[in-house]
Structure formats: C-alpha cells, structure tokens
Amino acid sequence: MTDVQESPTATPQLDPDKLMSFVFRAVDEVGATLNAGLVVLGDKLGYYQTMADRGPITPTGLAEATDTGEHYAREWLNAQAAGGFVSYDPGTGRYTLPPEQAVAFTDESSPAYLPGLFQIALGTVADSARIVAAARDGAGLGWHEHNADVHHGCERFFRPGYNAHLVADWLPAIGMVDRLNAGARVADIGCGHGSSTVLMAQSFPNSTFVGSDYHPASIEVARQRAAEAGVDDRVSFEVASAQSFPGTGFDLVTTFDALHDMGDPVGAARQVYDALADDGTWMVVEPMAGDRVEENFNPVGRAYYGFSTLLCTPASLSQEVGLAIGTQAGPARIRDITTAAGFSGFRSAAETPFNRVLEVRK
C-alpha cells in the first residue's frame, strides 16, 4: 500500500477590511439581540402605547406617563432611536414613534403586530443554556419546560396572522367555508392557547370545535379565551397528544404551526386520517419554507432556523420517536409525512410571508 501524503492547506489570505466589516456587523447583531429585551420591556411598561397616544415626548414625560423610572425611560429611548425604532429631534429633545412603528407595536388587529415575535424570541434565548446542555448529548427540551414568554409570545405572534388570513383567505382556499357555515365538526390539534380555535368558532356559529394540546397550562388558557369570547358553548378543549386526540367523523382537522414540533408527526397524521370523515379535509399550516436549504436563506428563514435550533427541534426530540423535521421542513417533507399516513391528496393552497397552508385529503 502506498502512503499518500496530503499537501498542507494553504493559509487563506486575510482581508483586514472584510474582517472589520464583519466585526461591525457582529456589533449590530449584539445590538439586535439586546433590542429584543428592550422591545419586550417597552411593550410591558407601556412605552410604545404612550408614545403612540401622546406623540413627541421627552424622557421625563414618558417616565411620568408610565409611572416608571426616568433613567430607564431615557436610556430606552436612546437605544430605540439609535436602532431607528423611534426618531429624535435634537432641537426639542423629544422622541417620536413613527406611524408605521406605532402600528407594528400597538395595533393588535394588524397582521404587522410585532411584540409577540420579540417576546417569543426573548423567551427562547432565555432558555438557551438548557439547549446547550441538551445539544451535547442530543437530548430534547419540551415545550412545557420553557418559560411563559415562549408560550404567550407564540400566541401573540401568530394570532394577528390568523386574524387576518384564516377566515378571509385560508379556509376559502381549501373550500371549507360553505361547510362551516352549514355546520361542521372541527378538531384543532396542537391548539396551544386556542387562538385559531376561538377565531373559527366566532366566525362559524353553526359549527362545533374541539381543541387539543398536550400542555395542560395551555389548555387552561384556551378555555379562558373561549369563555371570554363567548363561544365556550360550542368549543371544548382537551389535554391530549396529537397521536391520541379523541373523536372521529370530523369534517375538518386543523394543525397550526405545530406539526414540525411533534416528535411523531407520522403518528399524528395517522391519527388525523382515522379521525377525518371520508370527505374531510386536514388543513396544515406550517412556517413558510422551501424544500431546498438555500431557498430559506432569507430574513424569515433565518429567524425560523433560529427558532428551530433553540425551540422546535428540542421540543420534537423530547418526545417519543423524536423525528425532528425542523421548523423549515418544506412542503415536500410534509407531503412525505402525509403520504406515509395514507393520505393521497396534497396541495399548497395559500401562503403569506410567514406561513404556508397545505390542503390534505384521503
């Protein structure tokens, strides 16, 4: 046998300008990381709402209006101005929340409402030390093991998009509106705090809805949401996994931003297959993703890959099977799962910048 000695790899030539360019980009990344905490702080202390209501304001005025410490208000305003989230007038010493940012940070009815996105991101990062430990041996961390900012932030992030698109666009795209108006039986699995379930119940009073989730605390919140909305006579919530939720003969089964979190999505799909009426439909709403990795190299894909690493993949790994398809699985991978469960109909029915809606039939 002849020994083949590999040539030493040449040391790449360092470009000092590119290095410093990357350093400053990294500084911007650190600022963005810290700003997630600042946005959540501003949301919880009422800073954004006060600025939207009162217009240009000084740090003293913001502190007095929100009954908070002036030093915090001053530094928060300066950080927001440095990041372009608010504007500053040196002549008057006042800070202004532009109208576009006012919508993004204070209008819960807008699909552009952002506080929930920052809240779930901050909550996810807060648990990152536990993910470091889990990654060393390939273990998982369950959804129920995360802090409350993850659970409430998730609801607040996705709910505006559901409010804007679920009834107006997504359900018409899968041809379910007439059936729901007439009266249908619907199961919403992995329902979390029940935003999607309650919204459908409010829009279709002749239909009945059952939401299920394995997380008891989320089901408790979902029941409160249904009672507050006045639909608890037609909506029920149960603690159950996606592989064991009860009932059969459903006209519609829905799964919103949850299939990729499941340890056994194929088992869940088989349970859906058995639970659906022969002419029923499974609507799968998943994060927007392409089938090829490079198709997801964009701002939305970057955020979702981050959530996938720190939140969704660990959640799947914490469950039986632990398939861990990832937040950016793509429609082809979802189709493989539904086909393995026995479904033969599959199509992409609608999409937004953040979600893809898939119609699945027997």
Summarize pLDDT for 321-332 with one digit per residue, the tens.
999 999 999 999
Report domain 120-361's class: alpha beta
Instruction: Share the mean pLDDT of the chain.
Output: 95
Phi/psi at 15 (5° precision): -100, 105
Report domain 27-106's class: mainly alpha
pLDDT band of 69, cuts 50, 70, 90: very high
Please report, to the nearest 10 degrees, the dihedral formed by the alpha carbons of residues 234, 235, 236, 241 taken in order.
140
pLDDT at 10 over 80: no
pLDDT in tens, 250-290: 999 999 999 999 999 999 999 999 999 999 999 999 999 99
Classify the phi-psi angles of 230: left when phi > 0, otherwise alpha if psi is within -120 to 50, otherwise beta.
left
pLDDT in tens, 186-206: 999 999 999 999 999 999 999
The pTM (predicted TM-score) of the whole model is: 0.91
Helical residues (DSSP H) of 204-312, grouped into ranges: 216-229, 265-275, 299-307
Q: What is the domain partition of the chain in residue ranges?
A: 27-106, 120-361
Distance CA 335, CA 340 (A): 8
Determine the average pLDDT of the residues in 133-160.
95
Strand 250-256 with 235-239, pairing? unpaired
Measured CA angle at 107 (ends 226, 210), to 5 deg: 20
* C-alpha radius of gyration, the chain, whole number: 23
Q: What is the helix (H) or strand (E) element at residue 12, kind and residue range?
A: none
Please tell me the predicted confidence (pLDDT) of residue 6.
57
